Amino acid sequence: MKFLDQAKIYVKSGDGGDGVVAFRREKYIEFGGPDGGNGGRGGDIVFEAAGNLNTLIDFRYTQHFRARKGGNGAGSDRTGAAAPPVVIQVPVGTQIFDEHREIMLADLDKPGMRVTLCRGGDGGHGNAHYKTSTNRAPRRADKGWPGEEQWVWLRLKLIADVGLLGLPNAGKSTFLSVVSAARPKIADYPFTTLHPQLGVVRLSVAEEFVIADIPGLIEGAHEGAGLGDRFLGHVERCAVLLHLIDGAAGDVVKAWRTIRHELEAYDENLARKPEIIALNKIDAMTPQQISSRRRALEKASGAQVVTLSGATRQNLDAVLRLLQDRVTATRAAEREAAALAIPQDAARDTAT
């Protein structure tokens, strides 16, 4: 299946049904009276996060979604039928933006989460609604209210715990294929990864985390060089970033600074995420080269640097354990912060 993480679609909720003008005409009811019913409500446009989807490719072929109009009213004070909603299923992690991509309308980041984007129009009143003590035979009925319509952009941000970053050929795809069941394309030329890949790492029955691999970044990616930086959105939700650096390529400090510069140019919040720096491909270096390049990276970054080899699986277990511990700690801190924020919001609402 082809991966697609952006799509533009048109949505329109249903118009409300029309009210009607009708009068009772039973043989033994002397004066009759108005009994025109109201129109039914139009169908809503509802978005739902589905756990079994991982791409927006379906919206390349179906771009227009319209809900049905509500049923018209009828005599005997019968209300028209309400139209069913149109439920549009999208992958978990989908964000909905307005036509100009300036305002985020919804963020469906949990399985089963629903949001009503366009509300169906209300039905019009029939003439029975306007009957009063002074107006015994009204001949007024209203048309149904129109539904809402708009063009929206869908943007998918994959839900993952660990984001893989690095220059092209840093060994990200090899690392993903070794630690998970994912089978990304691996070759000895740049940009073999053209779209994000996900892999699940299971350390034990109760411990697992999801890794997202995105296409490699190069200098000037925020200005459109290479594949650009639009795939960085897929690691914005990650708890920790694993920055792989090709130790055998030479200037490891320059490689690290290039990626850091692109992260800061894209989003400062992403650049502040916890980062683990890993010197990869140690199987292709001498012990002296490993030691000197590791020290240079630690001096430049001010952080501890781990070493590994995806091809020969050296130090992989230690790196995966470090990732699992960081993910667990970060997610726990996020849950604690969310729990503390809820009472504060409730107290603020009560005070207001």
Answer yes or no: is 281 a known binding residue: yes
Instruction: Name the burial class of residue 97, with classes exposed (0-12), middle (13-18) and buried (19+) by CB atoms within 10 angstroms of its CB.
Output: middle
Answer yes or no: is 169 a known binding residue: yes
Instruction: Name the burial class of residue 238, with classes exposed (0-12), middle (13-18) and buried (19+) by CB atoms within 10 angstroms of its CB.
Output: buried
CB 200, CB 210: distance < 8 Å: yes
Answer yes or no: is 310 a known binding residue: yes
Answer yes or no: is 32 a known binding residue: no
Say which amino acid occupies 266: Y
Answer yes or no: is 191 a known binding residue: yes
Answer yes or no: is 88 a known binding residue: no
Answer yes or no: is 54 a known binding residue: no
- Closest Cα partner for 11 from 58, 38, 47? 47
Answer yes or no: is 332 a known binding residue: no
Answer yes or no: is 81 a known binding residue: no
Answer yes or no: is 340 a known binding residue: no
301 Cβ partners below 8 Å, 6+ apart? 256, 277
The two three-digit tokens of residue 247, written as one number: 């130790």
Please state, in angstroms and as integers, the Cα–Cα distance from residue 336 to each residue in 113, 222, 236, following that order.
Answer: 21, 34, 20
247 Cβ partners below 8 Å, 6+ apart? 279, 280, 281, 282, 284, 285, 289, 290, 293, 307
**DSSP 3-state assignment of 156?**
strand
Answer yes or no: is 241 a known binding residue: no
- State the helix-helix crossing angle for 316-351 and 172-179, rounded to 10 degrees: 90
Please state, in angstroms and as integers, the Cα–Cα distance from residue 204 to each residue in 107, 212, 231, 329, 352, following that order.
Answer: 31, 20, 30, 17, 48
CB 330, CB 239: distance < 8 Å: yes
Answer yes or no: is 40 a known binding residue: no
d(CA 122, CA 37): 13
Answer yes or no: is 311 a known binding residue: yes
Answer yes or no: is 166 a known binding residue: yes
Answer yes or no: is 193 a known binding residue: yes
Answer yes or no: is 170 a known binding residue: yes
Answer yes or no: is 125 a known binding residue: no
Question: Binding site residues for Mg(2+), as ranges?
Answer: 173, 193
Question: Binding site residues, as ranges?
Answer: 166-173, 191-195, 213-216, 280-283, 309-311
Question: Binding site residues for GTP, as ranges?
Answer: 166-173, 191-195, 213-216, 280-283, 309-311
